[in-house]
Structure 1
């Protein structure tokens, strides 16, 4: 392991030294507007006649070796308050445009759309994205890790889409106060992306290789300002909310409980690139509930954070580590207890340094004797070489006015504190072909010492035809991340993977090729406990439908007793060994159709010489752009010896989305989980009565399906208002 680590660190640090930006030759000059600009989708202002045009886009898909066949023209200008964007998206083929709905933050590949990718620091790592689909639904998000977009971010900006027989025009005004940038910088990284489903063409202004997303900041062109962008001035936003609701618990046979509440968020621009977020008594009742899954796993399942306060600009915290080694996982904060207040300072100190500091205070939970707790997270990131960075994180969870030695008999005992320290190096070469990460973590908990650290590293090479990666992990048995997500401890993991792609010049297939990976787990004495070898063959068609065949062989030595159907019937003994083979297939239909579907199936062995058959399907139909219907279903048929016998579980989730306008949305969905014996109904009406200000009406029900019985139900009305001072 030490030899592997040394070799990997040498590779990670040596690769990007000779980096330089690829698309410096692609420049768009932006000048101050010569006249007022009205956001109406009509090109009649003198300011647009006087501005430069970015055109001659390059094709990314289906091929990246020629100009795009679908024409797109982009112009930009500005005044003291806003950046203005005008995009003329010409028709690529006759027929109606293809969109999912009018809901904001749509799925990129399922809509005719245009997106702007903006890197105000020109560091090729962080930035902002704005855009719209052909029906006028908005898209906005924070960019991080050189090409990922966090769509949870929202801010105040305005746009209009207007359709014409031969084109659709997107016009937008983005306030300088809505973004972060460094004063005095006159060159920003910028690129524009277009997705045209009728021709199945994806394109960008500055060329991007097809193995990378069009959002890749490694391939931005340059936005050249005639003078430095203006100072946005005082930048303070206050976002209060009022809430009223009622809920009734039928299982406890109690009277309905009424609630009224109020809270406040504030956003304060410390500098043009550093922001302070404050929250007092936050409420997240309007957030979508988690999508349920049939749980057949030995370890804790991961459900992503959905609360906006923790998501906005939080990538420094949440992306530290790996998917199963997260020292910070914000869902641990406010779990079953109220959050009294919180603060987060985040943003850029300059082009090379990035800072994130957060503090949250929760209240007591009397029923579980959980004390009031304080959570502090601090992250500092330094850019090195072209696009790589070194990051540090510190996490502290402190129980206030609490002594574990004085816990009453029968009460849970909590640690007085838990701390984590981490250092990681993130590699991103200038051309994005080489990416990777190497990290070390250390925990500090009273009564725990030794084997309380983590080391992990990975390196990935991505070319047009090859994708080769290596990842290894070590998690000590005493490592403790109480504000993190680390479902497995006391192991060493080795995971190599290789993919080869072929690109036919003709025919229905766009690309196809095999992938081989193996995942190996060992205990801390390097004795094997788990092994899976997976071989798959994937096919991507020119209409963007996909088909994958796969087979795997698995071996597991149980380290703890485990119930293979997770219904509490019985458990397999620790130390028992199990092996089986599995085959499977996955198909996703082309996104251009009004009726779309995805099918997945697997069949093979299971624990205790059993058999498992799984079928998953997702069906969707849209009456664009106003109504979208969807149905997801998962069926598991498990055949085991006694005492489990034959077990079958359905998980069904119908959903309806109605977007009456691009400011009025209704969502209703149900989840029937046979394994958990629960039916959940959730409906939400959202009215965006002004930019970034909303009225929510949320109704939820939970039922016991057999016999049919109401467990609890709730109704909440919440009003949010965004005020710029």
Structure 2
């Protein structure tokens, strides 16, 4: 009955809210794609004759600092299309080109705080999905999938495309070629959703062509303009074959032998149509994947680390499930459960994946076979795992879907999970506001799970520029533990209320104020409370300079029913604790060569005190060289014992060109006492091929301050994609 009442209340709220949705859809601006009659060289110069005859898009307005204001410099966009590719040319005029903010050259680096242009395309014209391409004035490329229906971006996704840039006395020019075989698209469409955004960083200025509203996100393709006059695309046979060859030298311990391995691997994909792709992987290798950034954990719950492996990221937007789910409540499918157990890699023998869209239906299926392995003295057999996802678009911007998974990384029997979700979304609530509401339900099974194995939740969200309001509720069963999912807490009711009021005062130095209140209350299903937290930001001001200052107050409660070790030798005993945390934080604008963020949490903590100091510092002395430092220091003084934790990391980036970089990352923490070094040379010698040279080195510092080698590895990986 509780579930029925909750569902009825939720659907009633959706019905009431949807009554206010503005029924008239505004006409979408459009630009025609020009035709290519000659050869186009991607070099950052729009000097071919076809560029001169292509239609020009120049009607841009600002979203920052003034909504629908006049940009400080003009922008001209031209698009051309062939049967094989989309080609985009952007002229970014600038009266002071020497002041263009451009540091990065690395692929997929964060260029949001530099001068850049960003393009979003919706080749299904469904208003719920899309691809994002961005490039800065150094030709650093960034690509992402539209995620959460435009509210966010899945920046870990990568595809094959080209971009080149040139700078002249009038500004800078970006030239982009996106092969049609690099994306999915709906057959026979002659127009796609399309939008362009430009950032002029020193002015803290953002301009757009379509969807020029602060309340709307750039990735909301339902609000994008249209790219028309598209030809009939030809993706050829649709076959891509990418063999890789991995040479490695591995050494375990100071006295261990150095072992040489030569391992081939293969990824191949075949289009089953312009919008469906089947992929296989054999002897899968992830040698090029960056190491995880270490985290400290002052809770009794597991930490979350994001997926970084390319095979699992392709089409990952389709597997997103349930509005209101996430790493703090439930992720029904968490791909890091496959091929990773703890910190140990498990060999993937082979896998297959099919994903795409047919009409208004998006679907994905994934199946993999992992090899046998040993972990902490226990042997595990080879196992097969799979997941399936179907999502049907309904009501213009909404969807209903189904997810299911089978198999267990540890080979436990009778493991499966299934669930349903519904998400209602509109970008036209009360005329032009965002409104999202969602409900989901899941059930899991495994031979060792006997109690309540269900979970469900609802969320109502009003995410807009001045007001951002949300209400979330989740119920997680006592034994809801999906083998391929991530669930930090079992057997709880989870409540969260979020309120952000963000006015833009007419003050000399302040651009926007974020007055925040996030209240979280978690109680056991049996009724007793487990945790509460009230996060408040009476001051969170973004300045006209791009700098930011923030002050926070956070009352916290923890009901500890079983002792847990918070630090080495420090045990938090059973009791109910109430304490106050405070934070001071300052962020320095990334437009400067030296920038970063400093944060200090302080106050009471489990009947004692805790100071958490964090520093992130970025120094870009030139476009060739960059340094990134991150450090955290925890100083705990508790009745049960004192602890000091330090975590430091330093990343050095040597950017020869946007296609050749050397990156090294060194990190150390006093908990593990392991000094880790990860260095990578990445050379993209062709849009279809690249080379990685990777060096990993880990040494352990024992209690006598003696350093001993844990492991060392040198990897050379060469891969090339053959397209037919």
Class of the TM-score when normalised by the shorter of the 2 chains: over 0.9
Q: 1:686 to 1:13 in 2, by over 3 A?
A: farther
SS at match of 1:392: strand
- 2:379 — aligned with what? 369
Whether the 8 Å CA contact 2:280–2:353 is kept in 1: the answer is: yes
- Whole-Å Cα distance in 2 between the matches of residues 394 and 231 of structure 1? 34
Cα pair distance change 1:365/1:38, threshold 3 Å: closer
Contact 1:154 1:692 in 2 (8 A): no
Q: CA deviation at 1:169?
A: 1.0
3-state DSSP of counterpart to 1:331: helix
Secondary structure at 2:649 match in 1: strand
Instruction: Check 1:146–1:447 CA distance in 2 against 1; reply closer, same or farther (3 A cut).
Output: closer
1:535 is matched with 536
Contact 1:183 1:228 in 2 (8 A): no
Q: Which residue of 2 aligns with 1:348?
A: 357
C-alpha separation between the residues in 2 aligned to 1:235 and 1:20? 40
8 Å Cα contact 1:93-1:199 kept in structure 2: no
Q: Does 1:32 align with 2:32?
A: no
Q: Does the 8 Å CA contact 2:553/2:583 hold for their aligned counterparts? A: yes
Find the residue that maps to 2:284 and give its secondary structure. coil
Q: 1:329 aligns with which of 325, 334, 337?
A: 334
RMSD over aligned Cα atoms = 2.0
Deviations 1:247-289 (A, max 9, x none): 11226x3212221101100121111011111100011122111
Pairing partner for 1:283 from 285, 299, 312: 285
In 2, distance between residues paired with 1:42 and 1:619? 35
CA distance in 1 between partners of 2:320 and 2:371 (Å):
23
**Distance change in 2, residues 1:166/1:11 (3 Å):** same
Q: Deviations over 1:283-331 (max 9, x none)?
A: 1122111000112121011011111101111123255532230111111
1:490 is aligned to 491
Distance 1:189 1:345, change over 3 A: same
TM-score normalised by length of structure 2? 0.93
Give SS of 2:125's match.
coil
Aligned twin of 1:240: 243
The answer on whether the counterparts of 2:514 and 2:541 sit within 8 Å (CA) in structure 1 is yes
Distance 1:650 1:219, change over 3 A: same
Gap runs ≥5 in structure 1? 400-412
Report if the CA contact (8 A) 1:396-1:419 is conserved: yes
User: Which residue in the other structure is 1:176 paired with?
Assistant: 180
Tell me, yes or no, if structure 1 residue 664 matches structure 2 residue 660: yes
Contact 2:408 2:483 in 1 (8 A): no
In the alignment, what sits opposite 1:612?
Answer: 610
Conserved? CA contact 1:131–1:140, under 8 Å? yes
The answer on whether the counterparts of 1:208 and 1:216 sit within 8 Å (CA) in structure 2 is no
Partner SS state of residue 303, structure 2: coil
State the distance in 1 between where 2:455 and 2:214 align. Answer: 35
1:626 & 1:455 partners in 2: Cα distance? 50
**Cα deviation digits, residues 22-46 of structure 1 (max 9, x gap):** 5533111124224433323333333
- The offset of 1:378, in angstroms, is 0.4
Matched with 2:482 is 481
Q: Does 1:112 align with 2:109?
A: no
CA distance in 2 between partners of 1:499 and 1:307 (Å): 34
Equivalence for 2:584: 585
Give the direction of change, closer, same or farther, for the CA distance of 1:291–1:720 in structure 2 (3 Å limit).
same
Deviations along 1:701-725, one digit per CA (max 9) or x if unpaired, are 1112322222221111111111112
Say yes or no: does 1:420 pair with 2:417: yes
- 1:57/1:68 contact within 8 Å kept: yes
**1:60 Cα shift?**
1.1
Shift of 1:349: 1.1
What secondary structure, in the 3-state scheme, does the structure 2 residue paired with 1:163 have? strand
Deviation at 1:79, TM superposition (A): 2.1
Point out where structure 2 has 5 or more consecutive residues left out of the alignment.
Answer: none
Quote how far apart the aligned CAs of 1:138 are: 1.9
Three-state SS of the structure 2 residue aligned to 1:264 is: strand
Q: Is the 8 A contact 2:194 2:227 kept in 1?
A: yes
Aligned-partner Cα distance in 2 for 1:602–1:675: 20
Q: Contact (CA 8 Å) 1:242, 1:262: kept in 2 or not? A: yes
| 1:629 equivalent in structure 2 | 627
**Residue equivalent to 2:87:** 84
**Matched residue of 1:369: which SS?**
strand
2 CA distance for matches of 1:161 and 1:262?
35
Aligned counterpart, 1:133: 136
Q: What does the per-residue CA deviation read over 1:196-217, in whole Å, with 9 as the maximum and x for residues that have no partner? A: 1122111111133224432332
- Separation in structure 2 between the aligned mates of residue 688 and residue 319 of structure 1, nearest angstrom: 34
Q: 1:370 Cα deviation (Å)?
A: 0.8
Supply the distance in 1 between the matched residues of 2:561 and 2:401 (Cα, whole angstroms).
34
Contact 1:19 1:385 survives alignment (8 Å): no
- Deviations, residues 462-511 of structure 1 (Å, cap 9, x unaligned): 23321111001100102121111001100101111211122123411111
Q: Matched residues in 2 for 1:20 and 1:273: separation? A: 30
Q: Deviation per CA, 1:533-582, whole angstroms, max 9, x where unpaired? A: 221131111222221110011111113221232x2x253334x1111111
Alpha-carbon separation, structure 2, partners of 1:570 and 1:29: 66
* 2:73 corresponds to which of 70, 89, 102: 70
What's the offset of the Cα at 1:600?
0.6
Task: Please say which of residues 45-54 and 591-600 is displaced more in the overlay.
Answer: 45-54
Q: TM-score when scaled to structure 1?
A: 0.93
Contact 2:586 2:599 survives alignment (8 Å) = yes
Verify the 8 A CA contact 1:628 1:656 in the aligned structure 2.
Answer: yes
The verdict on how the C-alpha distance between 1:372 and 1:306 changes in structure 2, with shifts beyond 3 A counting, is same
Does the Cα contact within 8 Å between 1:276 and 1:345 map onto a contact in 2? yes
Q: Structure 1 CA distance, aligned partners of 2:690 and 2:203?
A: 37
Q: What is the rounded CA distance, in whole Å, between the counterparts of 1:35 and 1:701 in structure 2?
A: 51
| Paired residue total | 703
- Structure 2 CA distance, aligned partners of 1:442 and 1:183? 36
Does residue 572 of structure 1 match 2:572?
yes
Structure 1's 319 and 418: CA in aligned 2 closer, same or farther, altered over 3 A? same
